[in-house]
Chains A and B, each alone.
Chain A
Amino acid sequence: MESSIQDATILLGHWSVFGAFVLAGWAAIAGALGGAARSFAMTKSAERAVLAATGFTLLAAACLVRGFLSDDFRLDYVYLYSSTSQALPYKIAALWGGQAGSLLLWVALLAVMASIMVLTNRRHNRALMPWAVAVVATTMAFFLLLLNVVEPPFRMGPMRPDGVGLNPQLKNYWMMIHPPTLYVGYVGFTIPFAFGIAALITRRTGDLWFRTTRRWTLCAWTFLGTGILLGSYWAYIELGWGGYWAWDPVENASLMPWLTGTAFLHSVMIQERKGMLKVWNALLVILTFCLSIFGTFLTRSGIISSVHSFATSNIGPFFVTFLFLAFFGSLVLLILRLGDLRSEARLESILSREASFLFNNMIFVGIAGTVLLLTTFPILSELFTGRKVTMGPPIFNMVNVPWALVLLLLAGVGPLVAWRKASTVNLKRNFAGPVLIGTWVLLLLLFRDVRGYLSAVGKTFAAMGQLDLALALERVQAFYPPLTFAIGAFVTATVVSEFWRGTRIRMRHHDESGAIALGRLVSRNKRRYGGYIVHLAMVTIFFGIAGSSAYRHESVHSLVPGEILEVGPYWMRYDQLRLVAEEDHIGAIVEASLFDAKDGTVLAKLAPEQRLHPNLQFEELRSAFVEARRLGQEGSPEYQRSVVGLFGLIRSLESRAQREVKTPSTEVAIHASWSLMHPARLAEDFYVIPVGIDPDTGQASFRVFINPMVNLIWFGGLLFVAGSILGVLPDARERNRLAGALALEDRAIA
């Protein structure tokens, strides 16, 4: 009975993927026909096809999840990414552990969003909808084509007793949160893109399309930003190199659409207020969508090697074709519509908020372009010179950090400058306080190490004298941390002054108390004040990055049980080594105690671990592993010795088989300091990772990092989410504007 249900599930899943493709294809065609012929019937049919395709896609995903839950190892995908011993949450998360499942998740998320788009616009936007449906359905059809032709998730093989299992590095609870969050971000940008293209095709290039998609854009941007931060945190706690960002291709892939999306969120405000930058906004929405697809391509194709990329595949040519058509097709359409996108106003003054937004847009897009160029440099260099040249983090930092600091500065300048025109008198008056605070912070930091900074100035000028720009840029990096803190203090002061001014004005006009005035100020201008909170979040994140990069300590030590290590303000005592045989791995856990070097108080118990995930396809290894686990469950005194034996067996098997029979991984131990009693250590991490353990003698070597202020990055992430949610929440003023525009549009079409 169970077997026939499993057969039916596989069949249903297989045909669901096919059915979804046919329906999405029809939705694309019917949408375009409905738009071109202004046919209600065609449009209705297209919309229904999107809803039906969503049902089929979700059904396919459900069938694949069932395959995982029932350990149906006939399915290649289940065999490769699951095993009988895999815990239930990882069996579900294995859905996006490989290529086909990731693509299925991508298209399922897009399908759900497309359905929400169709359902919320049943009575509105009737002129834009056929084309918006056509664009979204085309994207769905493309991904479903990949699932039908290149990466079928329901491909079957012979029945196997057990599966290979998920990559050990992916067996982490962040696996359940990070990829879906990131994917919602990537996928979400499809909806604003679809409406943008629909607006260009129908020549309705006014404000309706971006007002309709404002919350979509903000949601996608929030999810993408959150996904990036979650990914950094995951890398920090899992990969064990003490860092969180390495300018890896997969990291860069997610950063690029986020940067252009941020530029769009700013520049669209100028179009709303002055009818300017229409071409630029359309271009930004096209770029953001194409970079999202490009990001998925980089992550999934494995075209550029990355520590985060867990896939290699032959989907590359399909993606390149789709990207080429999407980008150049949209660009041609944009060029054809240039006449409709003329600005309704001009920039009145260089001292205006519009101008500051324009600068920030140029920098955002400039950084995105630089990251794109440096990320794809290995491909480009191979194409033109036959040699693959990879760009490392130093070059990314050298080029991008100065611009990022200018961006941070603009985050403080923008809010204090008036729209349209500001006078130098106003600027002086409004900026005096924040500039004073920033300068004070800068001087304070410079005076802490006058000699060091004077020497850095000398070296920078010497490099400039030799006309060596690269060396000069490298030397000047010594000033980045104090500059970051100074600019951050300036931005914080401007944002606080904005809240203060707004509250005071409300208190004066409405006779309200301070708290009520502040609450109402924020609740009635959610978008603006949500944006300011995001600016504060960025300051906090920049502080975390500057602190943890500039003042970081890293060292390697070798200890035996009982030995004490002194690192900075900490002592770490290596207490004992414990060996374990768990569900799918054997582990060597170093039990250690962390003390405050000043007074000897115990700060934490640490347990960094080195794991070996044995390949249980080797019968000898499998039986020894099962035996060790049995001894462990029985609490036998032989348990530790049997695990030591397993380490030895793996070594001997590897030398016999001349291949790896295990997958190693490490578990980091981190002690975060949040105590206000030690302000110098606030938000600091003591981070320890084993690099080598001898299970026979207990001797272990560790890499120890002290990462000052690193937790400010994660705290800034929480602030970012809070500010973004505030900006996404319904806003009466925004709602009324959109309702007015929609009512008039509906009357026009009726």
Chain B
Amino acid sequence: MVAGVIVALLILSGATLWVAWPLFRPESAREMEEPSPLMACARELESRREMLLSTLRDLDEDREANKLDPQDHAEIRGRLAVEAADVLRRIDENRAALDSEERRRFPVIPHPAGRPAESADD
């Protein structure tokens, strides 16, 4: 009985310590950042691009399988292609803006040995 109590207590305290440990580590104060509006926009655009690509693939498969008329296929494909081009252009613009934002937030640090510098987040 006593052995049981000791084993149970040991296991319980070990688990408590393990679970609580992250709270007392120096980096515990770190917080997750809310993504910047640019980053959120990038995520949305990527998701849109994925959706459009998979829709275009479905469209071509449906045409090949004779489930879609050639005219309908051409009309929808044209519309989607214009949208996809627009999304790709916005992704490029967003990427450029993101890069400049990251360069601003994490400036280049000259390496003491004079080697080519790296950005802080690399």
Contact = CB atoms under 8 A, between A and B. Distances in A.
A, B bound: yes
B72 A423 contact: yes
Nearest to A750: B121
A272 B15 contact: no
Interface string A34-70: 0001111111110011001001100100000000000
B36 to A, nearest CB: 8
B97 to A, nearest CB: 14
A15 interface: yes
Contacts, number: 150
A706 B5 CA distance: 61
B33 interface: yes
B50 A741 contact: yes
Interface string B4-26: 11011001100100111111010
B39 A747 contact: yes
B81 interface: no
A429 interface: yes
Most buried by A among B8, B12, B27, B32: B32
A661 interface: no
A274 B25 CA distance: 45
B18 A740 contact: no
Contacts of A273: 51, 54-55, 58
B59 A40 contact: no
Contacts of B62: 418-419
Interface stretch (A3-11, A93-101, A111-119, A606-614): A3-11
Interface in A143-164: none
B67 A418 contact: yes
A49 B19 CA distance: 5
B99 interface: no
Contact of B67 (A208, A417, A737): A417
Given A44-B22, A422-B67, A23 B47 contact: no
B33 A749 contact: yes
Contact of A11 (B1, B27, B48): B1
Specify which of A59, A429, A744 lies most central, judged by the most chain B CB atoms within 10 Å of its CB. A744
B44 interface: yes
Nearest to B73: A418
Contacts of B65: 498, 501-502, 505
Contact of A38 (B34, B48, B64): B34
B42 A744 contact: yes
Contacts of B82: none
A361 to B, nearest CB: 19
B35 interface: yes
A741 B8 CA distance: 44
B76 interface: yes
B30 interface: yes
A32 to B, nearest CB: 14
Contact of B59 (A9, A41, A420, A750): A420
Nearest to B72: A421
A37 B67 contact: no
A724 to B, nearest CB: 22
A304 to B, nearest CB: 39
B22 A19 contact: no
A416 B68 CA distance: 10
B69 A425 contact: yes
Contact of B46 (A43, A419, A744): A744
B3 interface: yes
B1 A38 contact: no
Interface string A382-408: 000000000000000000000000000
Contact of A429 (B19, B64, B66): B66
A55 B15 contact: yes
Nearest to A748: B35
Nearest to A126: B32
Given A37-B31, A39-B31, A40-B27, A56 B72 contact: no
A15 B67 CA distance: 63
Nearest to B52: A273
Given A8-B7, A38-B34, 14 more contacts: A11-B4, A40-B32, A41-B29, A45-B21, A48-B21, A52-B18, A344-B48, A417-B67, A418-B59, A418-B62, A426-B69, A740-B50, A744-B42, A749-B35
Interface of B: 1, 3-5, 7-8, 11-12, 15, 18-23, 25, 27-35, 39-40, 42-44, 46-48, 50-51, 54-55, 58-59, 61-62, 64-69, 72, 76, 121
| Top-10 shortest CB links A-B | A8-B4, A41-B28, A748-B35, A11-B4, A44-B22, A418-B67, A418-B62, A38-B32, A15-B8, A748-B39
26 contacts: A11-B1, A19-B8, A38-B32, A38-B34, A39-B30, A39-B31, A39-B32, A40-B22, A40-B30, A41-B28, A45-B20, A56-B15, A127-B32, A206-B44, A275-B51, A419-B62, A420-B59, A422-B67, A422-B68, A426-B68, A426-B69, A502-B65, A740-B46, A747-B39, A748-B35, A748-B43
